[in-house]
Structure 1
Amino acid sequence: MSRIKPCLAALALVAFGQPANAAACEAERYNGQGYTVCTVDMAEDDLRLFLNDAETGKPLGSFSNIDKQLEAEGRALAFGMNAGMYHADRRPVGLYIEGAKAVAPLVTRAGPGNFGLLPNGVFCIRKGRADVIETLRFERDAPACRDASQSGPMLVIDGALHPRFLRDSDSRYIRNGVGTAADGRMAWFVISDSPVTFHTFGSFFRDYLKVPQALYFDGKVSRLYAPALRRFDPGFPLGPMVGVVGAREAQ
């Protein structure tokens, strides 16, 4: 697989209300399991996090609401994915930064659920780069992220799978997450096509994408918005979301 080539469907689909340059999303298979992988080049793509409506301050909740908000800028959402765990009122569980403004603080302690399965990590967006950073390393180095979302567990840490993952686990869900290149130039957003274990999902990042760091975003609620693939996953309202913004092209 080429992790940089554009999806031909993305180049062909230019419709009213759709971005002129969509994210590069492709179907991939590894060890009999299907995945959709969306490749983001931080030198070329406008990658952002989204949580609240700019006018009302209320949670956006959906990719369609993000796209409506971008319409005022003459922009459109080219690709979107849920990007971290959230409470019932859709507040982020851990650190959340958007536009250099901190909305929720970093959580370093262990806790219940997947988020508290340490080590967890932070997805950090800076000018020209995106990085997955283990939480304690993030706390120590304090990078100046323009946007950031904390989630967990880490899937891959310095090229190794999370130590708590079990090959024979019976916990299977459709899962999504992100992996980043060592130099921060490329980011790969992945969602499984069918339920998988943490071990299987992490192995895709480590062994197929060969990324040094990868972070789990969620399961059960995992969603993908990819107009170039004509994919608009339905579901309950979301908390933090990540997406690539492109030019909105009229009919």
Structure 2
Amino acid sequence: MPFLALFLAGPAALSAAQAAEGSCADIQDQAGLYTACRFDPSDVDIRLHLADPEGRIYGGFDPLRRQLWAERRLLLFAMNAGMYHDDRSPVGLFLDNQRVVKPLITGGGWGNFHLLPNGVFLMKDGRAEVMETLAYQKSGVTPDFATQSGPMLVIDGKLHPRFLADSDSLKIRNGVGVDAQGRVHMVISKVPVRFYDFATLFRDRLGCRNALYLDGSISSAFIADQNRDDRLFPMGPILSVSMPIPQ
């Protein structure tokens, strides 16, 4: 088992694992119940994934976990990371280790992805950021990893202008935000919630001035210290948190 291997690997591995453990908790906010996880990119490695080195789409957490294990990395947390087509290719921008898999989408269209403004979650030189799509385009930033999704939940401290406090659209939802300390908050609801309440959680409870919706009913998570390994639907892009296993 991975955590037994960590024990055998020695105190350095155990210390890192203990720092990551306890980062996830079930919280209640208004009428919603959520699993909220917080990670500091200076303590763990946060990446985005689509396919293995042979080009085979992971499609789920187990193939990704095995690949990371082969690379001497332990998967601590993962969740779906943006919308995708039937062939599991990303709908919007996707960068994997500086390689552009899909370019940025700036036009309108149908569905939540095109409920503008939408945005981008990115990792650059070990730092995380959520940016509105047009701001990302103007910035000229060249991320190491990035995924585009939509809608934005929180934009510079303000809720998305299309969200309604009394909306009757209740869905399981997951999203990602970054707080003022640069910590990454990854949240998946345990019950159906409306966009307005989900966005309010990120802004008012978690302190994220920018946060991005990732997806709805297909939302899934892998949480090692909770023995959670959802296998609900085939997945496209995956957001992971991992740590190296010392030699």
Q: CA deviation at 1:71?
A: 1.7
Q: CA deviation at 1:32?
A: 3.6
The equivalent residue for 2:30 is: 31
The equivalent residue for 1:80 is: 78
Flag the 1:51–1:17 CA change in 2: closer, same or farther, 3 A.
farther
AA partner of residue 95 (structure 1): L
Residue number among 208, 211, 215 corresponding to 1:214 in the alignment: 211
In structure 1, C-alpha distance between the alignment counterparts of 2:6 and 2:236, rounded to whole Å: 24
AA partner of residue 14 (structure 1): F
In structure 1, C-alpha distance between the alignment counterparts of 2:69 and 2:3, rounded to whole Å: 16
Q: Is the 8 A contact 1:119 1:154 kept in 2?
A: yes
Residue number among 100, 103, 107 corresponding to 1:102 in the alignment: 100
Q: Is the 8 A contact 1:174 1:219 kept in 2?
A: yes
| TM-score (structure 2 length as normaliser) | 0.90
AA partner of residue 25 (structure 2): E
Q: Which runs of 4+ in 1 moved over 4 A?
A: 16-20
Q: Is the 8 A contact 2:32 2:192 kept in 1?
A: no
1:111 aligns with 2:100: no
In structure 2, C-alpha distance between the alignment counterparts of 1:248 and 1:78, rounded to whole Å: 12
Q: Is the 8 A contact 1:15 1:249 kept in 2?
A: no
Deviations 1:132-154 (A, max 9, x none): 00000000012120000000000
Q: Is the 8 A contact 1:131 1:181 kept in 2?
A: no
CA RMSD after TM alignment: 1.9
Please give the secondary structure, in 1, of the residue aligned with 2:51: coil
The equivalent residue for 1:173 is: 171
188-197 or 29-38, which deviates more:
29-38
The equivalent residue for 1:62 is: 60
Deviations 1:211-232 (A, max 9, x none): 1000000001001100101111
Q: CA deviation at 1:27?
A: 1.4
Residue number among 132, 135, 138 corresponding to 2:133 in the alignment: 135
Q: Which runs of 5+ in 2 are unaligned?
A: 8-12
Please give the secondary structure, in 2, of the residue aligned with 1:65: helix
In structure 2, C-alpha distance between the alignment counterparts of 1:26 and 1:68, rounded to whole Å: 25
In structure 2, C-alpha distance between the alignment counterparts of 1:217 and 1:36, rounded to whole Å: 15
In structure 2, C-alpha distance between the alignment counterparts of 1:249 and 1:201, rounded to whole Å: 38
1:239 aligns with 2:236: yes
In structure 2, C-alpha distance between the alignment counterparts of 1:137 and 1:188, rounded to whole Å: 21
1:205 aligns with 2:202: yes
Aligned length: 236
AA partner of residue 28 (structure 2): R
Q: Is the 8 A contact 1:26 1:37 kept in 2?
A: yes
Please give the secondary structure, in 1, of the residue aligned with 2:114: coil
AA partner of residue 4 (structure 2): A
Q: CA deviation at 1:249?
A: 8.5
1:15 aligns with 2:4: yes
In structure 1, C-alpha distance between the alignment counterparts of 2:6 and 2:170, rounded to whole Å: 36
The equivalent residue for 2:160 is: 162
AA partner of residue 26 (structure 1): A
In structure 1, C-alpha distance between the alignment counterparts of 2:79 and 2:215, rounded to whole Å: 10
Please give the secondary structure, in 2, of the residue aligned with 1:66: helix
Q: Is the 8 A contact 1:16 1:249 kept in 2?
A: no
AA partner of residue 238 (structure 1): M
Flag the 1:17–1:233 CA change in 2: closer, same or farther, 3 A.
farther
In structure 2, C-alpha distance between the alignment counterparts of 1:150 and 1:109, rounded to whole Å: 13
| TM-score (structure 1 length as normaliser) | 0.89
The equivalent residue for 2:220 is: 223
Higher helix share: 2
